[in-house]
Amino acid sequence: MMADNKEAIKGGEFLIRETEAKDIFIPEEFSEEQKMMAQATQDFVEHEVKPLVERLEKGEYDLGATLLKKAGDLGLLGISIPEEYGGLGMNFNTSILIADVLGAAGSFSTTYGAHTGIGTLPILYYGTEEQKQKYVTKLATGEYVGCYCLTEPDAGSDANSGKSKAVLSSDKSHYVLNGQKMWISNAGYADLMIVFAKIDDDKRLSAFIVERAWDGITMNDEEVKLGIKGSSTRQVFFNDVKIPAENLLSTRENGFKIAVNILNIGRIKLGAGGIGGMKETINLSTQYAKERKQFKQPIANFGAIKYKLATMATKTFVTETLSYRAGQDIDDKTDALVAGGMEKNEAKLKGIAQFAIECSISKVHGSEVLAYIVDEGVQIYGGMGFSEDAPMARAYRDARITKIYEGTNEINRILIVDMLIKRAMKGQLDLMGPAWAVQKELTSVPDFASIDNTVLFAKEKLVIKNLKKAALMVSGGAVKKLEAKLGDEQEILMNVADMLIEIYAAESTLLRVEKLVGMKGEEACAGQIDMAKINLHHAVNIVNNAGKEALFAFSDGDEMRVMLLGLKRFTKIDPWNLKEARRRVANILIENGGYAF
């Protein structure tokens, strides 16, 4: 996908580098094989999962294990697991595609994600050959169900503060594990657990592969949760559990690194994993709006409803776009490292780590879009939306967890900026040069270069370029003013993160539509062009507001005045009739009976 690119983009580099449409992957480019896998997954959701939803919701948790086995029979548990371990050996972006489709599967999407992601990948990426042959082969088929035991009552976001301890026996043949874990998805029927604990008096976590059948493992009853009620979630207790020494995963004290890298994978999959639910909600909301009549006409005719439908579709299109852009960048980096001689699993981890910033962006954007869409779905359904007899109540409850697990959105926002600054400090990204250039531009005469209005998105790309300058100005100003204290100013970090998220999302969407127009022509992409422009106006507003909040927090006097003027200059966009654009997008949904992009 990046063959014509003079140099593959680095993670976070979108802020300082102009990307061309030909250099990003878009969902319309999925191969026939990938589309067939997506269709098989869709069929599985429709024919196997949905008929069991009510039973799952009422506490028949073991059905989750049954469904995982059926998914394993179809190959859906081993999408990106190499063939020698019982998988299909497909690329990372394909695994994102399957997570996307399964987003319409309600609670089961959590069951599936916990098994195929955090329950399997630590062994695949960090295990010995013997561990992979023994365990991954069974996880890939569904013979074993996996789960991941990291969180403790006093160790959530601060995972390394966990108190679970493993003591190495005097003959070094085994470890004795004691501890408590909570919020463990799939715990009720998991055969295999990835458990994190400190060995003896170590400062950092280690990871272990623990079999459920071993003595000393007990559990609390199933948690009664707000949402994802059909997924098994339990507390797990380890009381003098003997773990063979060969079941240490990776090296001693490498557990925290394992957790961080596996969570990066989970973050982008979670961001994309809501897309199926977004589309399902849009389809149901559109159909309901066409059928529900008030004032002698369908409510779909009303502007207020069209606004909601169009905004829901636009946000979904954007989440889909940025997730697959990042997913393919990870694959391209992995392929380049393998071509350079690196072992494949190490290359995958390096590729994912390279785009950890984009993984967090996907997680935050996708989870918050899903939350927005299900909320609007309830609103479109009105009183029925509040009833458990209609589908919106469950969708609303299920969506709420996505802003919490795989690292809260607050943690991910802080990580986005923290990772960017650390890469700049290490010389991996040249942020200071562009930031200094923007500072000089603040006191110079604005450049009124002519724009070729016959070129698609010529004006919009200039807007993106200026939004990047706004983010560089604000983040550079904060680093200069606060220095080491910036890490304590979480509100400012989250302001900057909001700017970066919207810039990446808006640029990705413009590039996708530009590439799509090149494939199909402008007339066939009229709705997508409207959505790209709608989203850009939204991004400008967010960048402006977040930028002002940050500037108010760390600057004052002439310095603030100059940067506020700069922010105003960098967040200009020509007036455009957003109302009519949204109505055009909504009409496409109404005509097609649902999401049609």
User: Active-site positions?
Assistant: 406
Residue 304 · residue 314 · CB < 8 Å:
no
CA 295, CA 346: separation in Å to the nearest integer?
62
Residue 103 · residue 274 · CB < 8 Å:
yes
Query: For 134, which DSSP code?
Result: I
Residue 126 · residue 168 · CB < 8 Å:
no
Q: Cβ-count burial of 197 within 10 angstroms (0-12 exposed, 13-18 middle, 19+ buried)? A: buried
CA 420, CA 183: separation in Å to the nearest integer?
30
Query: For 47, which DSSP code?
Result: I
3-state secondary structure 392-447: HHHHHHHHHHHHCCCCCHHHHHHHHHHHHHHHHHCCCCCCHHHHHHHHHHHCCCCC
Q: What is the dihedral of CA 160, 165, 170, 174, to 10 degrees?
A: -90
Residue carrying structure tokens 């109540």: 393
Number of neighbouring beta carbons within 10 Å of residue 51: 9
Comparing C-alpha atoms, which of 161, 250, 237 is closest to residue 198? Answer: 161
Joined together, the tokens standing for residue 289 give 């709006």
CA 414, CA 361: separation in Å to the nearest integer?
11
Give the relative orientation of helices 578-592 and 526-554 as an angle to the nearest 10 degrees. Answer: 130
Residue 344 · residue 338 · CB < 8 Å:
yes
Residue 290 · residue 591 · CB < 8 Å:
no
CB burial of 244-270 (b: ≥16 within 10 Å; e: otherwise) equals eeebbbbebebbbbbbebbbbbbbbbb
Instruction: Collect all residues with Cβ–Cβ distance below 8 Å to 391 and sequence separation of at least 6.
Output: 284
CA 567, CA 478: separation in Å to the nearest integer?
14
Comparing C-alpha atoms, which of 338, 360, 364, 365 is closest to residue 349? Answer: 338
